[in-house]
Amino acid sequence: MANNAEDIENNMETNAAPETTQQPQEAGLTRVRSRGGSDTGGDGGNGGGGDGVSSGPEQNGQPPAARPPRVVETEEDEDEELTLKYGAKHVIMLFVPVTLCMVVVVATIKSVRFYTQSDGQRLIYTPFPEDKVTVAQRALHSVLNASIMITVIIVMTLVLVLLYKYRCYKVIQGWLFLSSLLLLFFFSYIYLKEVFKTYNVAMDYFTLAIIIWNFGVVGMICIHWKGPLRLQQAYLIMISALMALVFIKYLPEWTAWLILAVISVYDLLAVLCPKGPLRILVETAQERNEPIFPALIYSSTMVWLVNMADTDRPKRNSTEVGSPQLESQEATASPAPSSPSHDDGGFTPSWVDQQQHQLGTLHSTEDTRREIQNMASARPVEDDDEERGVKLGLGDFIFYSMLVGKASAAASGDWNTTLACFVAILIGLCLTLLLLAIFKKALPALPISIFFGLVFYFATDNLVQPFMDKLALHQFYI
């Protein structure tokens, strides 16, 4: 009996050894299948009794999770993290310049009286006065002024779109050049003169002319040609603040508030409607693979700046992109090198013969070069870190700053009302960027921010401020 028991144990040990060596082979086979993404490959019988359907050995009676779905989930998580990272980065990229523009306007309004005092002068677009009339007449005059102003804006936008559609780039550049010239030289001179007068700074006209000349020339070069990105952004913020100060100075109060409300509705229609002028402008620029003029757009990256040296740069870029394809086709059509030691890069004679058999003999002609260049220009540009920037129209900067400046320059314009409008605009801008990340197309930046700003202004000015005054009068502290 003892000998029989020893024989049985020896037989069990010899039978267990193949099984233990069989399991690693089975596991290795399973790993190969899971990496290849196949769940049904192989018969599995040679691996030790597998059925050929399972993707791996069972663990605790349950099949393991497949590897490819986990890889997909990892890629989705990385994309989500990238979106969140760039989303937060883009919010900061827009909050900083918008805040700086509004701070410049509010600081000027609070310190320089020139932009708040009424001297009876008005813009040519607002011919109807609002002083010394009844409430009904004032409301009617504000409606008429706002109608004229919005009509002028619509007509100018249509003219710009038509000029861009028919490739009148020189006319547009001349138009924007004269506008920048006026802002950087004339309006900057008025601004500096009033600031020096307020702070009692003595300066002769020759020194002032040198300062204005250097400021204006450097600004024109940075905006319309080439320059450091930060310097270009600073000049765009400055000209937006100057334009907002002009509107605050020369627009009547009721007309200004009505224009802010109407321009938000117009911005919504112009961007989202299928035949809206701003939408046509953006779609035309995307179809031509051309950047919009930098004097109209604030960009957080170098993409717009590099491409705006002249109007022929996008065409040259498309040609440069297409030339490597042309060279590769010429290399494909050329015979293979006879030297066996030379690396052919995989383009063996058999491969060349096969391609010529399928596609025919490839010859480089003017027509083929033109087609390749057109295909390269129509191909979407790859998205890299430099192109992941956000772009905001200078009109948005102007009207944001105009709203906060008007709130600060009002008769009861205290810091509570100013800060409420400032926070409301930033909240609206954040919601706009959130919608931009969801819909992934051009959206108007004015409606949400201006709506919140107007609601916060009138609510704070008519409800919160009287309440705070009563608490201060009776010395109640909350």
Residues belonging to the active site: 267, 396
Three-state SS at 62: strand
Coil vs helix vs strand at 324: helix
Q: Which of 454, 421, 404, 409 lies closest to 257, judged by CA? A: 454
Residue 297's DSSP bridge partners are: 393
Q: Residue 196 and residue 212: Cα distance in Å, rounded?
A: 13
Instruction: Give the DSSP H or E segment for 393.
Output: strand 391-393
Q: 332 CB contacts (<8 Å, ≥6 apart)?
A: 347, 352, 355, 362
105: enclosing H helix or E strand: helix 67-111
Angle among Cα 301, 302, 306 to the nearest 5 degrees reads: 155
| DSSP annotation string for 132-148 | SS-HHHHHHHHHHHHHH
CA 137 to chain centre: 43
Handedness of CA 294, 296, 301, 304 (dihedral sign): negative
DSSP string, 222-265: HHHS---HHHHHHHHHHHHHHHHHHHHHHS-HHHHHHHHHHHHH
3-state secondary structure 176-192: HHHHHHHHHHHHHHHHH
Helices marked H in 289-414: 303-307, 313-333, 349-359, 366-378, 394-409
Pairs from 88-94 (Cβ < 8 Å, separation ≥ 24):
90/300, 90/388, 90/389, 90/390, 90/433, 91/430, 91/433, 93/300, 93/389, 93/390, 94/300, 94/390, 94/392, 94/429, 94/433
Query: Which of helix, strand or coil describes residue 445?
Result: coil
DSSP 3-state assignment of 52?
A: coil
Pick from 285, 282, 191: nearest CA to 242: 191
- Give the separation between CA 478 and CA 472, rounded to whole angstroms: 10
